[in-house]
């Protein structure tokens, strides 16, 4: 009989779906309830913290409870016209399609000032929407406003909860300066629609939702996605090894989480390498974790080299210091210990690294956001 084979149960880079999705039960329940209650929510999460995987799971639960879920990633809509096109498609696919017969669905666009050009994909029959001619800015603006209104209108008419997920929402300020005010004016009159705002650039999201001069000031419940706790993450790692004919020592699990600190992406990545190095029927140990970490660092070397090469001299000194000691780099004693420049220069370097999402900061304390980058810096910088 051929030996039983398994694919690697750990995932990084792509969405962590189904069995690869880790814990977050509390967040899933909270966000699902908020959406069904029509509560607007802004979800703060650094890159690689699994916010998209979390919202995918929430979306599946919402759909199972007959909610209509539309999703637009603003990173893929650099202009108002592209945003209108993507919004038209998701309204058609995810809201109109479950509500109307096929011949009735396109009628929802009759009131648009600029009518979209509808293209049928001959391979799968799916529709795409584009605005063929270059419309006047006021016309495309009015068209976008009407598209933003449609989810609320359709939800009210059919008595179905609607959830509009806007991923990478911080990009709204780059698309058009007037777009946040337009969106807010529409959304505040849609109590039947839950708007879920996801963002990875913390400083920009905080400005949008916490600056009293911004249209979205205090307009949504704020939820911050943190690391996953040691106990649930450790149990998950053990289960993933066990169900694929492998074992893992408790000390190895502890070593993994000591390196990653429960960072979702980093933990999945390190476990992926460890699982690959562990033959079926064998048990992973601490030595295997060390070897797997070396493999991760080798895999990430090109990326981390680019981060280092793109940093200024002051930023490099600061990165090295934070790799050795996460802490308060503006404090005089910290700067003295690590040979940092004057507070003003360190502050500028810190702000630049924070904007680039290389460094995180809270209440004056700073740290390198990617666990493996800190280790790479200690080994190479």
DSSP string, 158-178: HT--EEEEEETGGGHHHH-TT
The predicted structure's pLDDT at residue 4: 59
Query: 127-147 pLDDT, tens per residue?
Result: 888 886 667 888 888 999 999
- Looking at the predicted structure, is the pLDDT value of residue 365 above 60? yes
Mean pLDDT of 313-319: 97
Sheet holding 162-167, edge to edge: 68-73, 162-167, 193-199, 41-44, 221-224
The residue among 69 and 105 whose pLDDT is bigger is 69
In degrees and rounded to multiples of 5, residue 145 shows phi and psi of: -60, -45
- Looking at the predicted structure, is the pLDDT value of residue 161 above 60? yes
- Whole-prediction pTM: 0.77
The percentage of the chain sitting over the pLDDT mark of 70, rounded to a whole number, equals 95
The residue among 357 and 71 whose pLDDT is bigger is 71
For 146, other C-beta atoms within 10 Å of its C-beta total 18
The predicted structure's pLDDT at residue 146: 93
Alpha helices in the chain (DSSP H): 25-36, 51-64, 80-90, 97-99, 102-105, 137-158, 172-175, 179-187, 202-210, 230-242, 250-260, 264-277, 286-309, 313-324, 332-338, 343-355, 371-380
Q: Return the minimum-mean-pLDDT range out of 42-56, 216-230, 253-267, 289-303.
A: 42-56
How far the first Cα of the chain sits from its last, in Å, is 51
Mean pLDDT of 343-351: 97
Distances from the Cα of 289 to the Cαs of 13, 317, 347, in angstroms? 20, 29, 36
Mean pLDDT of 257-264: 92
- Looking at the predicted structure, is the pLDDT value of residue 266 above 60? yes
Mind listing the domains of the chain with CATH numbers?
Answer: 24-224 (3.40.50.300), 230-306 (1.10.8), 310-380 (1.10.10.10)
| Predicted confidence band of residue 2 (pLDDT cuts 50, 70, 90) | very low
Distances from the Cα of 152 to the Cαs of 162, 191, 240, in angstroms? 7, 8, 42
Supply the mean pLDDT for the chain: 90
């Amino acid at each position: 009989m051929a030996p039983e084979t398994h694919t690697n149960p750990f995932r990084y880079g792509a969405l962590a779906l189904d069995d690869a999705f880790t814990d977050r039960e509390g967040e899933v329940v909270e966000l699902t309830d908020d959406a069904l209650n029509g509560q607007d929510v802004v979800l703060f999460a650094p890159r690689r913290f699994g916010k998209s995987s979390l919202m995918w799971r929430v979306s599946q639960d919402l759909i199972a409870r007959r909610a209509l879920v539309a999703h637009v990633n603003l990173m893929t809509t650099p202009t108002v016209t592209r945003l209108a096109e993507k919004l038209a498609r998701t309204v058609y696919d995810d809201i109109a399609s479950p509500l109307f017969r096929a011949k009735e669905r396109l009628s929802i666009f009759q009131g648009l000032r600029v009518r979209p050009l509808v293209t049928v994909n001959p391979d799968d029959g799916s529709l795409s929407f584009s605005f063929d001619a270059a419309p006047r800015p006021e016309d495309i603006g009015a068209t976008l406003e009407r598209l933003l209104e449609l989810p609320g209108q359709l939800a009210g008419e059919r008595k179905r909860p609607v959830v509009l997920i806007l991923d990478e929402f911080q990009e709204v300020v780059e698309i058009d300066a007037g777009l946040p005010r337009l969106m807010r004016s529409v959304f505040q009159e849609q109590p039947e629609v839950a708007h879920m705002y996801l963002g990875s650039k913390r400083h920009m999201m905080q400005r949008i939702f916490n600056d009293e001069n911004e249209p979205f000031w205090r307009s949504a419940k704020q939820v911050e996605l943190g690391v996953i706790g040691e106990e649930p993450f450790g149990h998950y790692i053990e289960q993933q090894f066990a169900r694929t004919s492998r074992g893992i020592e408790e000390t190895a699990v502890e070593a993994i989480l000591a390196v990653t600190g429960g960072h979702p992406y980093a933990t999945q990545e390190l476990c992926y390498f460890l699982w690959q190095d562990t033959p079926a029927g064998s048990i992973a140990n601490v030595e295997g974790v060390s070897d797997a970490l070396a493999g991760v660092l080798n895999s990430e070397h090109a990326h981390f080299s680019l981060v280092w090469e793109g940093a200024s001299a002051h930023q490099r000194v600061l990165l090295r210091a934070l790799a050795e000691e996460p802490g308060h780099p503006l404090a005089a004693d910290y700067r003295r210990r690590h040979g940092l420049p004057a507070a003003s220069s360190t502050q500028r370097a810190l702000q630049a690294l924070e904007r680039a999402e290389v460094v995180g900061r809270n209440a004056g304390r700073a740290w390198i956001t990617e666990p493996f980058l800190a280790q790479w810096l200690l080994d190479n910088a």
